[in-house]
Structure 1
């Protein structure tokens, strides 16, 4: 085990910050964060035309300021494209509209409501691990485990038929292209894909309204005052977050355990706490983009109205003013990180992630005694906003009963 050498190769977007225009820097951006934070916690990048925020205090303040720092609508000024449907999801709304929808949804993500899915998570994890190990102990942890397990879990919760899982995964990947730029809310989408996704959810919500089943869509249709459009768009967002972020969290956890030579002692750790430190140390979501509705001042820097602000969550979670030894991974540390955001837009799916990730990892290590990563074959995500892996070949040693 151990980190070994890395030979990364990927196309890098030249619209990224100058210090992050290599796959090595995107995989390990923390020196760049520290350098910029020491210079100024808030600074303007004239090349990208955005304000970057690096300190824990100011990032948290920015995340909580949902009146002056908002998420621009996905559809922009257009009202007839497919993104208008998904704009009705609470993540893209602010103020009283956001608060009302979130209030309707919040009770469905309480620990009591989620307790019944624990057995399902274990069953899905065991089945997928059996499939991954069919040809022996060598498999791609991302493609054969970290992607399909969270996908199956969240689809089961939401109520997506199994035969539609692969199609929805394609729509999720297409949708993510709207968020590939850290500098603006604009993105290039395959319009027909998102139109098909919107039509699919419209139909599915209509079906569950008249013929409910044991799933989230049916419960929301039967028990809340949400419109069918709000139900469909929010359930799409739950699938988006529940699959992608969880996949990256699992990959980061395995990478860290290998890098830190901790696999041999994994039974000593409380997985609930370990996951929190993974979220701090390598947050799946590294940055959030916001738009100013009026002039706002952060740490003495006044940002005019209608400017883009990048809140670097990954930098905040390594801020030495907030965390002792921020670049050390401490499996027993229980940090108060910003990986799930803060304030009105804190992630409503956080309770699912906090329950799901420890169960998946614990189940994984019930079967896997040890593993090694093929370091030269690792493929990190070539994005500044996301920290994770597109490919992670692993050689696993199976426990003997």
Structure 2
């Protein structure tokens, strides 16, 4: 006797439309262009090819200042000098806010604002990320790092292997960004699902998501939005500590507080997680450099800058021409979307000789934290976390050794990193 298969759940037409406009069209165009051999499109379809992205970047650099983008109407650059000029230019602006439910790209997210609106909103948030304020977080960061390092040996499996992502690099920035925001409020607890929701918020900043990944992202963002809505309501009723409470006291609306928190979790959690994990792996592969830094700790700030260049997880910055512009000999029509490939620019051999080699003290500044009006809001916080966490890790475990296994990359492409970094302590 045959059984009738269960009916498939109905497709949310509005959700499908959102995916098609923001992600599906780009993904379809990239697949077509990848078959034509366009390097930028190949990296959208397969973000981490077996050869690594280097050969594709080299092919893009054959075009100057821009190479063809992954879709019609898009351009990309892998040149350091071009990338830096685009990032500081007033002739290129941000893309408009995304339609749909509140998310990390909804207005007034910093990455959707330009001009006076951006300056105003950024000024409100900057108060929580000034070097002086961040210095005040250092003691808390040291305490969290010590607690996590104390627990690392117990987290190792029978052969002494521990995953630095889950045991170290993930919890540190998650705890600190929650503290900066003033979460959780009024004695509630951080939900166990927060890392998963944070990953979804980071995916919400991405482009070219598959339908399955898009649905997963929207579900995670909805759950995070629901929790943040409760937290903001509690802060509004009873006050609190941290950035959200200060913004609420200044008159920021409920929805704007939720969007601000969504953006800062999406932009400030997984980025630092991948920076710490990737940097730790790099140092484990370079035991002589790690030993030198243990012997000469004054070299750590320079080493962290080189690790940001080499291991910075933000792969690109997206801009749009505000009007027709002549740029380094190229005509860029109004509305053209330009992708600045940050990781490619940071490995441009014209700017960084022997770019795949760890060499602190390079002449040029990297672009890992951006440039211009939209440079990373949390740059001081990220640097502080790295300069606390990495020295403590290599000092506590001087024989840290990487464990070879197949690489599991995060499904996000804007913020890129390994989901596991197994090491022996």
Q: Does 1:311 align with 2:311?
A: no
8 Å contact from structure 2 (residues 352, 362) kept in 1? no
Cα pair 2:179 2:242 within 8 Å, conserved = yes
- Measure the CA separation in 2 of the matches of 1:84 and 1:236: 5
Match for residue 253 of structure 1?
279
For residues 99-158 of structure 1, what are the alpha-carbon distances to aligned partners after superposition, in whole Å with 9 as ceiling and x for unaligned?
101112212211211222111111111222233321444211112211111111211221
Look up the match of 2:170: 147
SS in 2 for 1:375: coil
Q: Is 1:228 paired with 2:254?
A: yes
1:208 maps to 2:235: yes
Shift of 1:254: 1.6
| Counterpart position of 1:327 | 356
Corresponding residue SS for 1:353: helix
Pairing partner for 2:138 from 82, 93, 118: 118
Could you report, residue by residue, the CA deviation over 1:4-56 in whole angstroms, capped at 9, with x for unpaired residues? xxxxxxxxx87473553656537832332233213433022476652111212
Deviation at 1:347, TM superposition (A): 0.9
SS at match of 2:154: coil
**Which residues of 2 match residues 377-388 of structure 1 at below 5 A?**
377-381=406-410, 384-388=413-417
Distance 1:341 1:356 in 2: 18
Q: In the alignment, which residue of structure 2 is the partner of 1:102?
A: 122
Instruction: Verify: 1:356 aligned to 2:376, yes or no.
Output: no
TM-score, normalising length: structure 1: 0.83
* CA RMSD between the two structures: 2.9
Unpaired runs of at least 5, structure 1: 1-12, 397-401
- Aligned residue for 1:166, secondary structure, equals coil
What is the SS of the residue equivalent to 2:58?
helix
Distance 1:230 1:23, change over 3 A: closer
Cα 1:298–1:369 change in 2 (3 A) is: same
Q: Say how many residue pairs are matched.
A: 377
From 158, 161, 185, the counterpart of 1:138: 161
The structure with the larger Rg is 2
Between 1 and 2, higher relative CO (CA 8 Å, sep ≥ 6) is seen in 1
Per-residue deviation, 1:205 = 2.2
Counterparts in 2 of 1:17-28, with a 5 A limit? Answer: 17=40, 19-20=42-43, 22=46, 25=49, 28=52
Q: Residue 50 of structure 1 contacts residue 183 of structure 1 at CA under 8 Å; is this kept in 2?
A: no
CA contact (8 A) 1:317 1:337 kept: yes
Q: Identify the residue that residue 20 of structure 2 maps to in structure 1.
A: none
